[in-house]
Structure formats: C-alpha cells, structure tokens
Chain A
Amino acid sequence: MSNTTIEDQVSPIYWQKVSPWALLYFVVHFSVRFVKDGLLNLLPMLVVFVTQVENKLFWAQVAGGIALISLLIYSFLYYLNFKFCISSDNEILLNKGVFKKERLTLKFGRVQNVNIAEPFYFTPVNLVNCIFDAAGSVSQEVVLPGVTKDYAQQMRKQIFDFKAQQQQEIQNTEQSETDTIENSLSISNKEIAKFGLMSNMAILAIAAFAPFINLIVDFLEKQIIAKVEGFYQQELGMLASAATFAMITLIVLLVLVAVMLSVTMSLIRFYNFELYFKGQKFKRIAGLLERHQLSMSMDKVQSIVIKQNLMGRLLKRFTVECLQASSGGIAAGVAAKKNKQTLVLPVLNSEQVDSVCQWIYPWFNSKKLAFKRAERALLYKNLGFYSLLPSVLVFGFCFIADINTLISLGVLVVFSGLVTLSYQRYGYYMHEDNGRFYMVVRKGMIGVHYRVFELYKAQSARSISTYLMRKSGLKSLYIQLASGFAFMPYIKQQDADFIIDFTIKQIESDTRSWM
C-alpha cells in the first residue's frame, strides 16, 4: 500500500478547452439530437401546421430561421462551458451544459473502450473525436470533440496502460508471448455491399418514413401509378390488367429502392473495413463519412454470435458479433449496438469465420463441432402445437367459410417443414481447452445462429420442465449471459442438471473477472 503525503494527493486541476472547430461538432450533434428526439414530439405541431396554417412557406422560413439561430447560440454557449481535465487520480473530469451545468467524472478503470472517430467535417483540419465508453452505460459516455489525433491516441494509450497495470497480476506469461502476434482482416467494399442485402437496414430506413405514409401513398397514386397505368394502356395495349401491372411495377421499384438504400447504409457504416487483433485486443476501423475506430479488449467479450439468415445462406456469408455486457434487456442490447459497444464483422465466409474465431478461441473449428441435438419429443410437441393445431383451425375456417379445404393441407406441409427445420437446428456443444470450458449453442430455422461463450461468464442458470417432460426424463436449459442468453430445449434431464451444476461451479470457483 502506498503511503503518500497529503501534499502529493492534492494536485491542482488544469481545465482545458477543446478546439474552436469543436463548435462544428456541437452544431451537428444537437441537430441530430433534435431530429432524433425532438422532431417526434413536435409532430402534433407539424400536423396543425400542415392542416391549419395558410401561408406555409413564410411561416416555415420564420420557424426554420429561429430554430437555426437558437441552435447556433446554444452550440456556442455549450462550447464556452465545455471544459475537461485529466486529474492526477486517473479520471476524466468534464464540465458541460448551458441551462443545467453538469460535472461528469469517469475513472480510467471504468472506461471500456476509447474510440477515435474522424468525422468528414474535421478531415481538413486534421482533428478527431475521442470517445470514452463506460461499462454498459450510454449516459456515462464522454466525447471530447475536436482534439488532435495524436492527443486522442495518447489518451487511449494512457488509459490502456493504466488498465493493463491494474490487470498485470492476472495476466499470465503465456498470454503475453502470444500477444506479439498480430492478426488482421480486411473486407472489400463489394463484400460490404452484400451485407446490405443480408441486413434489415432498409426496413429501418422505411420505418423512418412511417409518419408520412399517407402523403407518400397519395403522391405515388397520383404521380406514379396513374402514369405507369397510362403507359401500359397506351404502349402495350393492356387495358384489363394495366392497373395490376402498374402496382407490381411500383412494388418492384420500391423493393429495389429499399435494397439500394440498405446497401448504401452498409457502405456508409462499414466502408473500407479493417480489423486487427493484437495483444488480446480487437481494433476495427471502418466508415465512409466518419472513419470510426473501435477497440475492444477480448476479456470484455461476453459471447460471440455467428449468424446467417436466408439471404446469407444464398450468398454463403455469415455475420459475427462480439457482444459486451449490456445492462439489462433488449433495449439495452439495442442501445449497446447503437453505442458501438458491439463489434460487428458484417460479412465473412465460413473460412474467415473460423479464422477470426480461432484468434479468440484457438480450438474453434465450425466443421468439427459435434453438436448434441434436442430429443425427438420436441419435434412431436412442436408438430402438434405449431403445425397440426393451426392446420385444424384453418380446416375449420375453410369448412365454415366454404373455401377449398386443401389449403389446410398446404398449411400442414409448410408448417411441418419449418418445425422440422427448427428442431434439426437446435444443438449444443461443450468444449474443454487448457482448463477452460466453453459452450456453443445452435438454433435457427431457415437461417442458423450460433452463440459461443465461456462458461464462467454466465450470470445464472435455469432448468424448465413440464409434467410430461419430467415423466420422459427431459428438461430445457436456460443460461443467462451478460449479453443475451443461451436456450437449449428438451435435452436429457441428467445432461441439463450436469450443465447447470457445472456452469455454477465454474462461476463460483473461477477467480477471473467476468466483466
């Protein structure tokens, strides 16, 4: 224990200001926040404005002008009050706020990542944003805008050195030998475009237009459908089905626009994707408008998810996610993703998946994982509940409504197929490597989803059983993780009990920090 004098402990605080260029960041930041959070609240006023106000253009200009001036004044005042300081107690102090002044203290020990972002408006002046991620908390994130790249990198080094010093006792020498080896991976932009096809980003973009759906439909009906219908009638002479063809054309166009939008958004997010792995740390650099640098320590990763949806299967590509602790629920998980706490490797082929996973788990080989499957009782139960029951209901409905009852047979065949696929996907695999124990849980239907985690990182374990399951000696297994959960239904009772007991033993006896 150190025995420092009082004079040593009390050191003066030197407050620093960020570059005046940071004003640009504040303007952009508050504009984005206004659009994201404020616009929805102003929607009722917008409706009144559209329906009631007569001289719309004039009043829109007045309102826009006032909003712009307010934004500039607020950003300027925010910039004036924005001061930061690195204290001798290894913490970042931040003073900010205009109407409500805030003092934020973030200890180095609590910083999970230090990310360096290069927004396009800082590129000419060679400045960056230095973002400090605190453990799982969005509100505790600290951003220092408009600092030089060297300063940001120096800050990152200082924090990581401090943390490394703290964890030095835990690190073993074997690890430090392997730390010197650097692995890297870059993904071409052509591949990134494939992620646009695989992901649901277009749906999110379309959802943003939901409040204006009536206006859009009216516009499409008047401006596009009528014209396309006219074209079909005049040029191709299809009088009877011109409206149907016009509608189909419009739908195809909309789908194409959505796909293009999705591809564009993927490119904006993951442009020139580069990934490095050295010293048990990931470093990822990607982005078109903003070159975002994300670093993540391996011991912070709670689980790794490898997933492939229908489009991914067609393209033979996977998405890998390294998940950190999210402080509660789906909302926090989404927030963690938005807050860039999740390392996403968007498009990888199966060899790349294996090689990236082997950086972290050297034993990992997706082709050699001998999964133990769920018992057949799961298939029978799901066929009864999710295939037979709906088809009986459909049969009853068709019978009453005097519709062809063969539809129910179609429902039975399709649902049985999906249920069987889902049953076949369920599986778990446990692995021991150098005294460490891992579990891989697989699920899916048309796509596939793997979750890989080390057992000691689990939070709690649960068994679930019904009367019939107990009679058949079966149990379902649920393991809560700090990022999501692993669920394996209908496995043998002794296996489920063993996994729970063994997981609990790992949690309780492992001295390593799980966070």
Chain B
Amino acid sequence: MFNNQQIMDLPKHSDISFKPLANKALLHTQLSSLLFYIPLIGALIAVCYFNETFANNAQTYLLIGMPILVAVSMAYNMISVRLRGFAVRNHDIAFKKGVIWQQVTVLPLARVQHMEIHQGPIERKLSLASIKLFSAGGVSADLQISGLTHDDCKNMRQFVQNYRQDDATTQAALVDE
C-alpha cells in the first residue's frame, strides 16, 4: 500500500506566491474583448437600420441588453485578470487562472517539449506577449500564459532552455540529503 509518512518536506504548490500579470494585461484583455463586441454591435445596428420590423421588435431589448452584456463582460475580465498569476520555481512553472472554475497547473520543466511566444497586434502595441508551453500528449498547450511583458516571456523561455534536468536532480538529491 501507499505510504506517505516519509515525505515530510514535500514542497507544497498551495504555498506558492503567484506573481500577478503585467500592468497592461487588463487593458489588453478589455481591448480584445471590445474587438469582439464592436463588430457585433455594428452588425446589429446595420440590421436594425435595414430591417424595420427587426428594429421595432428588438431595439429596446438591444439598447438595454448590449450595454449590460459589455459591462458584465468587462467586470468578468477584471476579476479574471486579477485572479491569474504565475510562478517560476527551480524545477517547474505554476499558473493559476479561472473565475468560476479555479485551476492551478504545475508543469515541471523536465517535461517541457517545446515553447512558443506569441505577440498579436494589440500585444505588440502594449509590449506584451503570450507564452505557450507544451508537454507530450496534451490536446493543446499545457500552459498558456497571456498578459506577460515581452521581456518576461523571453526570460521565461531562456530559463526553460537553460534548465538541465541532471543539474536539477543533483540539486534535489542534495536538498534531500
């Protein structure tokens, strides 16, 4: 049977102090969100302009509903960005996210197969970037952290690249001793 008595000094992921995302991460999320809503609102205005029957039936609901939807979405984004955080430890990277379903993912550096850094047009303007870390067997990236500064992303990539599992295990053995 499984015995866990010997492992008293197990590093706890629940004790990790997560670093918040970059200052401009919220602005990026809100702008990305608006980029979705503005064309949608534009399309609805066009439909109302050309289709009088639709306008008569839906105009009032849309005038009340759309601002509420946008406001709720923006409030959700604010909470979502605040709840996100990442931590780079000696041997792994941890990331927490989620408003309703809160997730904490720990990805050991020894299992990282490859990485990607992405910078969209808004991210470039705000000097932000996203990093994706892939391990084996996942459907998509195991960790996707957006809203980091481009420098943070590059440093993280460099750190993962420099990581040598052999060094790490030697260090771990020393700590255990």
Measured between beta carbons, the chain A residues less than 8 angstroms from B138 are 328-329, 459-460, 480
Residue A483 interfacial (CB < 8 Å): yes
Interface residues of A in 485-499 (CB under 8 A from B): 485, 497-498
Residue B51 interfacial (CB < 8 Å): no
Measured between beta carbons, the chain A residues less than 8 angstroms from B105 are 460-462
A467 to B137, CA, bound (A): 30
Residue B1 interfacial (CB < 8 Å): yes
Residue A302 interfacial (CB < 8 Å): yes
Tell me the nearest residue of chain B to A437, going by C-beta. Answer: B2
Measured between beta carbons, the chain B residues less than 8 angstroms from A9 are none
Residue B68 interfacial (CB < 8 Å): no
Residue B152 interfacial (CB < 8 Å): no
- Are B135's CB and A459's CB within 8 A? yes
| Contact stretch, chosen from A117-125, A443-451, A503-511 | A503-511
- Are A498's CB and B10's CB within 8 A? yes
Residue A192 interfacial (CB < 8 Å): no
Residue B75 interfacial (CB < 8 Å): no
- Are A507's CB and B111's CB within 8 A? yes
Residue B38 interfacial (CB < 8 Å): no
Residue B104 interfacial (CB < 8 Å): yes
- Are A460's CB and B14's CB within 8 A? no
Measured between beta carbons, the chain B residues less than 8 angstroms from A462 are 103-106
Interface readout for B108-127 with A: 1 if CB under 8 Å, 0 if not?
A: 10110000000000000000
Q: B13 CB to closest chain A CB, in angstroms? A: 6
Measured between beta carbons, the chain A residues less than 8 angstroms from B106 are 460-462, 500, 504
Residue A344 interfacial (CB < 8 Å): no
Chain A contact residue count (CB 8 A cutoff): 46
A330 to B138, CA, bound (A): 9
A76 to B91, CA, bound (A): 54
A464 to B102, CA, bound (A): 6
A485 to B135, CA, bound (A): 12
A515 to B110, CA, bound (A): 12
Q: Which of A464, A483, A500, A509 gathers the greatest number of chain B CB atoms within 10 Å?
A: A509
Residue A431 interfacial (CB < 8 Å): yes
- Are B169's CB and A325's CB within 8 A? no
- Are A325's CB and B136's CB within 8 A? yes
- Are A480's CB and B108's CB within 8 A? no
Tell me the nearest residue of chain B to A507, going by C-beta. Answer: B108
Which residue from B91, B137, B173 sits with its C-beta under 8 Å from A325? Answer: B137
Q: A334 CB to closest chain B CB, in angstroms? A: 13
Interface class of chain A by DSSP = mixed
- Are A329's CB and B102's CB within 8 A? no
Q: A411 CB to closest chain B CB, in angstroms? A: 27
- Are A327's CB and B92's CB within 8 A? no
Tell me the nearest residue of chain B to A429, going by C-beta. Answer: B2
Residue A474 interfacial (CB < 8 Å): no
Chain B contact residue count (CB 8 A cutoff): 39
Q: Which of A327, A328, A459 gathers the greatest number of chain B CB atoms within 10 Å?
A: A459
Residue A276 interfacial (CB < 8 Å): no
- Are A481's CB and B137's CB within 8 A? yes
A458 to B92, CA, bound (A): 13
Measured between beta carbons, the chain A residues less than 8 angstroms from B140 are 328-329
Contacts A461-B106, A507-B108 hold; do A500 and B13 have CB atoms under 8 A apart? yes
Residue B100 interfacial (CB < 8 Å): yes
A431 to B4, CA, bound (A): 10
Contacts A465-B101, A508-B92, A509-B172 hold; do A460 and B135 have CB atoms under 8 A apart? yes
Residue A482 interfacial (CB < 8 Å): yes
A245 to B136, CA, bound (A): 53
- Are B2's CB and A432's CB within 8 A? yes
- Are B142's CB and A459's CB within 8 A? yes
Tell me the nearest residue of chain B to A465, going by C-beta. Answer: B102
Measured between beta carbons, the chain B residues less than 8 angstroms from A501 are 10-13
- Are A508's CB and B102's CB within 8 A? no
Measured between beta carbons, the chain A residues less than 8 angstroms from B108 are 459-460, 504, 507-508
Q: B174 CB to closest chain A CB, in angstroms? A: 11
- Are B136's CB and A508's CB within 8 A? no
A309 to B159, CA, bound (A): 46
Residue B63 interfacial (CB < 8 Å): no
Which residue from A329, A480, A497, A511 sits with its C-beta under 8 Å from B169? Answer: A511
Measured between beta carbons, the chain B residues less than 8 angstroms from A427 are none
Residue B139 interfacial (CB < 8 Å): yes
Measured between beta carbons, the chain B residues less than 8 angstroms from A463 are 103-104
Measured between beta carbons, the chain B residues less than 8 angstroms from A370 are 1
Q: Which of A370, A470, A497 gathers the greatest number of chain B CB atoms within 10 Å?
A: A497
Measured between beta carbons, the chain B residues less than 8 angstroms from A429 are 2
- Are A460's CB and B142's CB within 8 A? yes
- Are B169's CB and A464's CB within 8 A? no
Q: A141 CB to closest chain B CB, in angstroms? A: 18
Residue B107 interfacial (CB < 8 Å): yes
Q: A242 CB to closest chain B CB, in angstroms? A: 51
30 intermolecular pairs with C-beta atoms under 8 Å apart: A326-B136, A328-B137, A329-B138, A330-B139, A431-B2, A432-B3, A458-B111, A459-B108, A459-B111, A459-B136, A459-B137, A459-B138, A459-B142, A460-B106, A460-B108, A463-B104, A465-B102, A466-B102, A482-B136, A497-B14, A500-B13, A501-B11, A504-B108, A505-B7, A505-B11, A507-B110, A507-B111, A508-B110, A511-B166, A514-B111
Closest 8 CB pairs of A and B: A430-B2, A459-B135, A482-B136, A482-B137, A460-B107, A329-B139, A508-B91, A462-B105
Residues of B within 8 A of A (CB): 1-4, 7, 10-14, 91-92, 98, 100-108, 110-111, 134-140, 142-143, 166, 168-169, 172-173, 176
Residues of A within 8 A of B (CB): 136, 302, 325-330, 332, 370, 429-432, 437, 458-467, 470, 480-485, 497-498, 500-502, 504-505, 507-511, 514-515
For the A-B complex with A370-B1, A497-B14, A500-B13 known, give 11 more contacts whose Cβ atoms are closer than 8 Å. A302-B137, A328-B137, A460-B142, A462-B106, A464-B98, A464-B101, A480-B137, A482-B137, A498-B10, A504-B11, A511-B169
